[in-house]
Amino acid sequence: MEIKFNEGTPQRPEGDRILDASIVPINLLAYNKQIRQEQSWKDSDRNAITVFKTKGITIVLIALHEGAEMIRHSVNSIVSVQLLEGQIKFSTDLEYIEMNKEQMIVIHENISHSVFAIKESVFLLTLTNTSTDTKRINE
């Protein structure tokens, strides 16, 4: 398997983080510390880092300051949100859930949703490519 690295950016010029390989170690504590020390965290209401990315799945660690909002949007993939720290309000057009530390939710593709940080929060966002032909468990 080919090992894939991220490319350098002005925010992260080192550009040597492994994004895809047969085994990808992901130190969430270290990434959490890193994104909270970066200028983007100091200058805006959020910061994030992609910790894994391949054709079928993307995993992003996101930190939000208290009061930050990810405005209503939808994506063409199944979405999971695993709250590691803090408290967020996750809303869809039909309902909302107040999530606390160590809770997780999953929504299907194309469901409009937003996220509001009730407290300073950190969560792991997973986006799964659903365009492959998969069978349902009951079939």
Q: What pLDDT is recorded for position 20?
A: 84
- What pTM did the predictor assign? 0.86
pLDDT of residue 119: 98
Domains of the chain, start order: 4-129 (2.60.120.10)
Distance CA 121, CA 62 (A): 8
Query: Residue 58, Cβ neighbours under 10 Å: how many?
Result: 18
Per-residue pLDDT, 7: 59
Give the type of residue at 94. L
Tens digit of each residue's pLDDT (9 = 90 or more) over 85-127: 999 999 999 999 999 999 999 999 999 999 999 999 999 999 9
